């Protein structure tokens, strides 16, 4: 090296080169991924009264109102209505909170103009996807744990198949968190995000066997319900908690897993290309 060719300091390298340096000894930027995941968790824990405690109150009101209106000696699928209702309300709350966590994080960053703080660090599309999903899964898990504990205390029944229940809760959190990422990327302001939540997510969760068995639906609505992946999430959670379901839980896990794979790929693709994300 001659005097006329000064040595470049590593910090002077362009971002692409620095990013390659981060991954030189591994395929994953674990520090950046961990930082993003912690940020997503701390973001909703800062207002835990709204993100964890409020869903418990909402679920309790649902159970109270429907139990008073339709409870008593009424049974559905051989279960007391309160026992039948609990897993549906739990899963509906998990679905809504997982979706809200990732979608609100992206939309808020875009509206406030600080989305560049997420896009600039040396994080790949897969790492961004995993970081956002981590926040959704943790929030959904906390909500499920709180509501599940209250449900057991009220009904006096335990969980019939804990592993099945856990599998469907995690599947629901991941699927709805990924859908929330897609919705957050698509929406440019809060009212667009609210429209997606109010006109798509909420109706699908309400009309998926949350408060009733789809066996009671006439055709073609019974068949149409089986095309809704949220139905399998709620039905699978009901099987995990009570041991009773409208469809085989393995089929539900396969269907939801296939849908999750498609949604994850699309979310990864949009994050990789910066679709509607770059300012």
Residue 83 covered by a domain: yes
The pair of three-digit structure tokens given for residue 59, joined into one six-digit string = 């679920």
Q: What are phi and psi of 153, to 5 degrees?
A: -65, -35
156 domain-assigned: yes
* 32 φ/ψ sector (left φ>0, alpha ψ -120 to 50, else beta): alpha
104 contacts 10 by C-beta, under 8 angstroms: no
The pLDDT, as a whole number, for residue 72 is 59
**What is the number of domains present in the chain?**
1
CA–CA distance, 164 with 275 (Å, rounded to integer) = 36
Q: Is 6 inside a domain boundary?
A: no
Segments forming the whole domain that contains residue 159: 28-273
Q: What percent of the residues of the chain are helix, what percent strand, and what percent coil, each to the nearest 5?
A: 75, 0, 25
Look at residue 9 and tell me if it is in a domain: no
Write down the pTM of the prediction: 0.86
Q: Are 270 and 277 in contact (CB under 8 A)?
A: yes
- The predicted pLDDT at position 16 comes to 44
63 is a domain residue: yes
Residue 94 lies in a domain: yes
Across 52-84, b (16+ Cβ under 10 Å) vs e yields beebeeebeebbeebbeeeeeeeebbebbbbbb
Query: Coil, strand or helix: which one is 184?
Result: helix
The reported pLDDT for the residue numbered 155 is 83
In a domain, 265, yes or no: yes
What is the pLDDT tens value at each position of the chain, 279 positions in all? 444 444 443 334 344 434 444 443 458 899 999 999 999 999 999 988 888 888 888 888 888 887 777 655 688 888 888 889 899 999 999 999 999 999 999 999 999 988 988 888 899 999 999 999 999 999 999 999 999 998 888 888 889 999 999 999 999 999 999 999 999 999 998 999 989 998 999 888 888 888 888 888 888 888 888 899 999 999 999 999 999 999 999 999 999 999 999 999 999 999 999 998 876
Distance of CA 56 to the CA centre of its chain: 17
């Amino acid at each position: 090296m001659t005097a006329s060719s000064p040595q470049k300091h590593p910090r002077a390298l362009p971002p692409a080169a620095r990013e390659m340096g981060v991954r030189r000894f591994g395929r994953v930027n674990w520090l950046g991924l961990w930082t993003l995941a912690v940020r997503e968790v701390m973001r909703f824990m800062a207002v835990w009264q709204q993100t964890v405690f409020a869903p418990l109150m909402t679920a309790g009101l649902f159970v109270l109102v429907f139990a008073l209106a339709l409870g008593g000696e009424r049974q559905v699928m051989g279960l007391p209505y309160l026992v039948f209702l609990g897993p549906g309300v739990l899963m509906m709350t998990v679905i809504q909170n997982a979706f809200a966590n990732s979608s609100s994080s992206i939309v808020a960053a875009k509206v406030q103009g600080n989305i560049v703080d997420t896009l600039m660090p040396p994080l790949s599309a897969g790492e961004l996807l995993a970081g956002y999903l981590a926040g959704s899964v943790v929030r959904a898990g906390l909500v499920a744990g709180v509501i599940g504990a209250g449900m057991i205390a009220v009904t006096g029944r335990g969980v019939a198949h804990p592993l099945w229940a856990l599998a469907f809760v995690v599947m629901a959190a991941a699927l709805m968190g990924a859908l929330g990422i897609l919705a957050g990327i698509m929406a440019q302001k809060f009212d667009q995000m609210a429209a997606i939540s109010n006109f798509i997510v909420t109706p699908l969760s309400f009309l998926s066997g949350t408060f009733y068995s789809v066996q009671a639906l006439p055709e073609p609505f019974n068949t149409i319900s089986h095309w809704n992946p949220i139905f399998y999430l709620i039905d699978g959670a009901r099987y995990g908690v009570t041991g009773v379901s409208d469809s085989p839980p393995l089929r539900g896990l396969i269907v939801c897993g296939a849908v999750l794979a498609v949604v994850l790929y699309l979310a990864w693709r949009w994050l990789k290309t910066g679709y509607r994300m770059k300012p």
